[in-house]
């Protein structure tokens, strides 16, 4: 069983050049569980009291206020729960050095060791996206547009919402399919029941697929495009 945790954080500052070294803190953690390339629906989500003020620039991005966080737990109070959730998993993070740096800083404030011993490895989806789309914008919004993932509800950054979006993006980028709240036990039972058997499910009359053929205008336009391809490349593999 391969377990992955897609993780995202929000912070009191927005400088991505190691802002945690200047005393900024984590104010929200969101994490989504993936098992065997399926989103299970099991999440970890918490807002945190950073014990300091939030920069105005950061507030404009995530909309989380100091007043909202004043009765929330501190990182120290949720540290063990976080470790338990991500233990023995591969972390999937967009711009991993930023998030890992902040989490590392929070643990150092508690005089505790870095959490790297609790997870197997870290996959940085920003680096992965840059390899797939070199020279292009690879923010979450840009990747949503590229992969046709609806994110109109994302008016502000949010750790859990961004983690859910990133989970979908990651599975698509790495060639998989998403399935939310899938019953893994049920899937295993079905596989065992039909293992080694050839199962055929014929389509009913209502289920038969409708075939839509190209009209004469569409066929003519298609031939014109193939002609242009042939002129540019001397041979067109799709031309009959």
Q: Say if residue 99 carries a ligand binding annotation.
A: no
Q: Say if residue 62 carries a ligand binding annotation.
A: yes
Q: Say if residue 8 carries a ligand binding annotation.
A: yes
45, 148, 157, 205: which is the annotated catalytic residue? 157
Q: Say if residue 222 carries a ligand binding annotation.
A: no
**Torsion of the alpha carbons at 161, 130, 139 and 152, rounded to the nearest 10:** -70
Gap between the Cα atoms of 8 and 158, Å rounded: 8
Residue 54, both tokens: 């939030």
Q: Say if residue 106 carries a ligand binding annotation.
A: no
Neighbour count for residue 151 (Cβ, 10 Å): 17
111 in Cβ contact with 79 (< 8 Å): no
Q: What are the DSSP calls for 122-143, one per residue?
A: EEEHHHHHHHHSTTS--SHHHH
129 in Cβ contact with 138 (< 8 Å): yes
The answer to whether 148 is a known catalytic residue is no
Gap between the Cα atoms of 45 and 26, Å rounded: 13
Gap between the Cα atoms of 231 and 188, Å rounded: 53
Residue 110, both tokens: 């508690």
Q: Are strands 26-35 and 38-47 parallel, antiparallel or unpaired?
A: antiparallel
Active site residues: 157
Binding residues for substrate: 8, 10, 57, 62, 162
Binding residues: 8, 10, 57, 62, 162
């Amino acid at each position: 069983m391969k377990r992955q945790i897609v993780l995202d954080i929000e912070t009191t500052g927005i400088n991505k050049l190691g802002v945690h070294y200047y005393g900024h803190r984590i104010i929200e953690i969101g994490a989504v569980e993936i098992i065997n390339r399926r989103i299970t629906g099991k999440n970890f989500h918490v807002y945190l009291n950073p014990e300091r003020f939030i920069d105005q620039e950061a507030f404009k991005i995530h909309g989380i206020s100091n007043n909202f966080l004043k009765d929330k737990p501190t990182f120290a109070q949720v540290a063990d729960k976080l470790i338990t959730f991500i233990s023995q998993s591969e972390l999937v993070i967009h711009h991993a050095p930023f998030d890992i740096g902040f989490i590392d800083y929070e643990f150092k404030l508690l005089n505790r060791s870095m959490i790297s011993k609790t997870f197997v490895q870290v996959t940085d989806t920003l680096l992965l996206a840059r390899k797939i789309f070199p020279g292009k914008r690879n923010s979450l919004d840009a990747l949503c547009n590229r992969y046709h993932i609806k994110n109109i509800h994302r008016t502000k950054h949010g750790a859990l919402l961004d983690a859910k979006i990133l989970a979908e993006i990651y599975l698509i980028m790495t060639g998989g399919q998403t399935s939310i709240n899938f019953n893994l036990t049920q899937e295993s039972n079905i596989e065992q029941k039909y293992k080694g058997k050839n199962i055929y499910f014929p389509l009913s009359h209502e289920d038969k697929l409708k075939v839509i053929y190209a009209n004469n205008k569409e066929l003519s336009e298609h031939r014109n495009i193939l002609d242009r391809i042939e002129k540019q490349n001397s041979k067109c593999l799709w031309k009959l």
